[in-house]
Every structure is written in C-alpha cells, then in structure tokens.
Chains A and B, each alone.
Chain A
Amino acid sequence: MTAKKKVAAITANVACAYAMKQIDPDVVPAYPITPQTTIMEEFSNYVADGAVNTRLMRVESEHSAMSAAIGASAAGARVMTATSSQGLALMWEMLYIASALRLPIVMQNVNRALSAPINIHCDHSDSMGARDAGWIQLFSENAQEAYDNTIQAVKIAEDMRVRLPVMVLYDGFIVSHAIDRVELLDDEVVKDFIGDFKPVYSLLDVDNPVTVGPFDSLNGYYFEFKRMQEEVMRRAKSVIIKVGEEFMKVSGRSYGLFETYQIEDAEYVLVLLGSAAGTARVAVDNLRQQGIRIGLLKLRVFRPFPFEEIAKALNSAKIVAVLDRSISPGSQGGPVFQEVCSALYSFDCSPVIVNYIYGLGGREIELAHFFKVVSDLEDLSEKRSKESFVRYLNLRE
C-alpha cells in the first residue's frame, strides 16, 4: 500500500491519459474520435510539455494508427493507442493482425455505438464486434477501474506467457466524460509495477534480422498459429488473476475475472458489464431490503471468457438475467448472454437464463428498469417456467 493516497476528481479519459503518462510508452499512434478524443488531447499536453518521452504519431486514420502501432511494437517499442466505435471498426483488419503477430499493444476503447444512424453515445457494439479478434478485453465500471485496468493491461499484455494485445473498455460519456473520484498511484509505483519491456523478436535487432508477417501457403501452418492464439488466450486467465493480486498489493484495490455482489444466497442474479453495474448495485440493495434474494455479477474480463468460474458462481441461482448493451441481429440474444448460456450448459448448471438488451445508442437505464427485470423474474419463478427469452429495456415498443 502506498503511504499517502493521491486522490483526484477527474474523468476516466483524463485518468487514462494520466496512466499513460506514468507508463510513458515509447510510441503512441492515435487518431481523434468522440468520445476517445480527450484522452489524446490530454496526452498531447504531456508530450508538448516534455512530461513523457513518447513519440506521439498523429496519424491520418485509425487504420494507420493500428498499422503504425503494429510496426512500432514489432520494432521492440512499448506501444499504446486509444479509439472508439467507427475508429475501432476501421481498425478491424489490423486488430486481427496485431494479435496474430502476438504484439502486446494496449488500447483503450471508449465504448460507443456503431453507425448507422450515427450516434456518439454509449453501447458495447464496437468492442463486442471485435470479440473474436484475439485481443484480451477488460471492461471497467468507472474511472478508477479504467485507470487501474490501463496499468494492469500493460503487465498482462507483456507477460511472457501471454504476449497478446489488450483492450481496456469503458462506457463513452457515462464514464469517459463524468468526473469521478480516482485514487492515483505514484509514478514510481507504476514504473516498478510494469517493469521494462523486452520484445521477443525485434525488427531493430541488428544481429538477428527477422521477417514478420509472412505468407502462409496452402498446406501451411495457419491452423497451428490460430490454435496457439487460443492456447495463450487460455493461459492469460491465470496471468490476469496474478496481475490483479499484485496490483492489490500496490493499490489496495482488488481485481479478478469478475466481481460478485450479494450472490451467495441469491435466487436471482443479474449479469452485466460496464457502468450499469453501479445502478444495478443500488437496485440489489433496494430489493434486498424488500426481502428479495438478488445478487449481481459484474464481468471484468470478457476475453478470455471465464466459463468455468462463471458457471460455478451462478450454479446455485434459480434465474439468471443477463443484460447486454449490444445487439447481435439474427442470434439468440446478445453476446454476453450467449457466453453465459454456453458456460452454464457446458458445466451442466441448472438456472433458467434470460436476456435483456438495453442502453443501445446511450439509451438510459435507471433503477425502475432493474425493478422491471426483477418483477419479470418473479413471474417466471411463480410459473416455474423454464422458458428462456430475450427482452428489451426502455425501448419504445
């Protein structure tokens, strides 16, 4: 624990820019997009003042931002960037290449809806679309978590057992632009925590020139490389836990794969990720006072998805309601729902599981909506129905 706590009232974007200043990466290629922009504005101030030694590349698109990030990382640099929504979509092609080349790039993605219609407000469709891109995904509820996850992301990505890129996610505007209480670590603590970056291979190794990103022909090895990515993603889970424990020692704040609240004896469990967890927690407190046995499971790590741990945590619940802040047209429910279903099914768990889509394009979610969810669950419970359904919260229908 640090002797004296440094506390600031700042937004998540400012907190993340501060984390980046403390990390002092070698290269940051970035392109502005709402609501990510203020991270880069703030970081640009550090560069302009000489507070960091980073080469800040103000590139001409997000595609080039990720391309330059890959080039710099393959050259042995510690690299960070940040984006949102359409920017992430434009990076798509390069996201897969960053992870396949096993480059430990760290990027904040400030969650925002995908066009059309163009909408700058929060939902998770941008990063959910990238869930198969081979990046580790850490979701954050508030500015404190966004700051803490950014610092931990560097250590997770660069762990020799992992060497994968990490996306730090938090809700656009709701978290990115809201002023919050954030405990900041000392620069030295951050520096010691992340340590020095040592590349496995480097384009700038004079004695060992390498070819990065080769062509794989038919009858080649593509399948083996993909299998290996899956393997390291699995390994990443224990590294994420270990880094969380180490972070606890320097910060006093605890991080695991997910966070549970009042689930030990819960009949009903809400599962969600991101800023809505705050409202959900208040809803749980309210309902508990009314004698309803309800709990909350807030996911932090969406990739790798903690199947076994989630199944264990939800096993004794009667009904599980998964709330998704993105939509997957043509599928059975949102992406979080699908993963939780898969976890419960794989480990032969019994709860009934239902899905709510909420908050698309920044649509509000309030206490009343959680109460509506719980009254649905009570109905279901009375009817002893095993019916699974997908419903919409706060939709004009």
Chain B
Amino acid sequence: MASLKELSKRKEGLVAGHRLCAGCGEGIAVRQVLLAAPRPLVCAVATGCLEVSTTVYPYTSWNCSLIHTAFENAAATISGVEAAFEALKARRKIGEDFHFIAFGGDGATYDIGLQALSGALERRHRFLYVCLDNGAYMNTGIQRSGATPLGAWTTTTPVGKKEPGKLEWRKNLTAIAAAHDGTYVAQTTISHWKDLTQKVEKALSYNGPSFINILAPCPRGWRTKESQTVRIARLAVETCYWPLFEVENGKWQINFQPREKKPIEEWLKLQGRFKHLFKEENRPVIEKIQNYIDTEWEKLLALSSL
C-alpha cells in the first residue's frame, strides 16, 4: 500500500487546469483514485460535472486515455473498451496489460445508468466502476437524485409549506452492487485517503469487476464552504452517515469503527441544504434521519459479523 510520499512521486492522473468548482470533492476523489491506479490505464466518464469540466475541447485534464459517450452508459462503454483489449490481446496486437476505470456521478449511477452498471458487473468485465456520490444532479443545477438524502433541499425538492425537502431516503447503491456475486465492492470517501487508495489498489488487482462508491461533497449543491469539503466528508464517516466498508467474496467488513458515533446533527448543521431541518417544526425529520442511520449501522455491524 502506497504511502503519501510514494503517491506524491507518481504522475498525476488528473492534472490542473480543469474547471471543476473551487473545493470540489470530485476533483479530490479522482486525483486520489488515479494516483493509486496502476498504468497503463483507460478511463470512461459519464456525462456530468467531471466530464464537462475536464475535457473542454481542445483541452483535457486526463493524463491517460479517456472516453466519454453519454450519461447512462459509462459501464457499458468501458466494458466495450475492455472487450476490445481482450480481443486485441488474444490476437497479439497489444502487449501491455491495461487497467480500466469508469467514473459516474450519483445521477449517472444510482439512477439513469444503474442498468448498464448491473449488466457490466454481471458480465464480469475486468474493470472498476467508481461512483462519485454528491447526492444530486449537480451539473444541471442541484436536482434530486436517488442518492439525495432524506430531508435535503434541492431545486426539485424545495423547502415549502408542505414539504421539508426530500421525502424519501436514498437508495443503498453499494448494497445493490454487492448483490452482484463475485464483485469486489467498497464504500469510502476522500477524507480517508489511505482507505480510498487501498481500495482502488485492491479493486484493480482483482480479476473481475469491482465497484467503489465514493462520497464526494459538493460545496455548491450542499451549500457548504469550499474549504470544508474534506472535513464534511470526514464527519459523514464519523456520524456513520457514510460508513467505510468493503465486500469481498461475499464477506462484509467495516473498515472504520468510530470510537464514539457522532450525532448526525453535527454533519447536518454544516450544510445549507439541511438548514431548514433546524427549525422547530422539522426537528422530527432530524430524529428520523438519526434513527435511520442507527438502524443501517446496526445492519452493517450484523452483516460484518457473519
């Protein structure tokens, strides 16, 4: 497992000059993933912030080959690249061993691209799919997705007289990915760079499909200070909103157990998208969120003891 010193000597995968917002969690996540990834490497990216900010023709921030085709199909696209590699290797037209990574936001992964992801995992292509979860369609201007947490304000779940933000809980995509037997599956975030880079190394050494769900805070959509991105990611782990775990050969394992689980309020209060929950009438929503997180955490503890 590479140390920070070792990582700092590697070639950047995502170079400067990209146009992601200041303080963007995706920029941090992709840099960490690519620093950990062995070369040569081909990446695919779904339509979204990452794509439009890093490939503005004639400039690219990618230091490896990259393909973008559309929104819902990064997994299908990279599976085609991987199949081409296998075919050309079998015909001895390629000598090197390539690695393959697809990146998609939560909209591209939880929602519109779920089918393509499931298909590519089931077909067992040798690739890593990285979901950069910032909990809404940020590129189109902060609309609700299947990853948006309950109670969050978005532009399509506005806070009104009848509705206090999003009414439904987010779907558990990492568990959905884990339901594809024989897939290496992990959840991590940018504050825990060691956990993240180790998981990427493990995923790319795995002879089969893998999936990593990375929480990537979005200052613009979460209404947070740009400087707080990593801190907020860390708090998501410490409150158990975003537990760090992995599923390998069907075995669930928690990678970080907080000594003391912090109350979810500490995480919520830093984010403008939850501001309305702190009004007296919405207090029950916070309780509901806390209860849900507690239940999910207990479930995860039970799964990891199996």
Contact = CB atoms under 8 A, between A and B. Distances in A.
Direct contact, A vs B (beta carbon within 8 Å): yes
B117 to A, nearest CB: 10
Interface in B60-80: 60, 62-70, 72-73, 76-80
A209 B64 contact: yes
B68 A212 contact: yes
Nearest to B41: A209
Q: Which of B78, B85, B94 has the most CB of A within 10 A?
A: B85
Given A60-B119, A67-B73, A93-B70, A209 B63 contact: yes
Given A60-B116, A63-B116, A94-B73, A68 B55 contact: no
Contact of B84 (A60, A72, A220): A72
B52 interface: yes
Interface in A10-35: 26-27, 29
A220 B57 contact: yes
Interface in A174-220: 203-206, 209-217, 220
Given A204-B42, A206-B40, A221-B57, A77 B88 contact: yes
A211 to B, nearest CB: 4
Contact of B123 (A26, A59, A72, A93): A59
Contact of A75 (B51, B80, B96): B80
Given A27-B80, A76-B84, A203 B67 contact: yes
Contacts of B65: 203-205, 209-212
A213 B80 contact: no
B80 A71 contact: yes
Contacts of B167: none
A343 interface: no
A73 B87 CA distance: 12
Given A54-B87, A64-B76, A211 B119 contact: no
Interface string A100-124: 0100000000000000000000000
A312 interface: no
Interface string A40-57: 000000000000011101
Most chain-B CB neighbours within 10 Å: which of A53, A68, A214?
A68
Nearest to B55: A214
Nearest to A29: B80
Contacts of B116: 60-61, 63-64, 67
A94 B70 contact: yes
A206 B98 CA distance: 9
Interface residues of B, number: 46
Contacts of A69: 80
B81 A71 contact: yes
B79 A214 contact: no
Contact of A59 (B44, B76, B87): B76
* Most central of B40, B86, B119 by chain A CB within 10 Å: B119
B157 interface: no
A101 B76 CA distance: 17
Given A61-B115, A75-B42, A215 B56 contact: yes
Interface of A: 26-27, 29, 53-55, 57-61, 63-64, 67-77, 79, 93-94, 97, 101, 203-206, 209-217, 220-221
28 contacts: A60-B115, A60-B116, A64-B76, A64-B119, A70-B67, A72-B84, A72-B87, A73-B80, A74-B81, A75-B88, A79-B84, A93-B70, A94-B73, A97-B69, A203-B67, A204-B65, A204-B81, A206-B96, A210-B66, A211-B62, A212-B65, A213-B67, A213-B68, A213-B69, A214-B58, A214-B68, A215-B68, A217-B57
Instruction: Identify the 10 closest CB pairs spanning chains A and B, nearest first.
Output: A71-B80, A68-B80, A60-B119, A75-B84, A77-B84, A64-B76, A67-B76, A67-B73, A211-B60, A26-B87
Given A64-B79, A209-B66, 7 more contacts: A59-B119, A64-B73, A67-B73, A68-B76, A73-B84, A210-B66, A215-B55
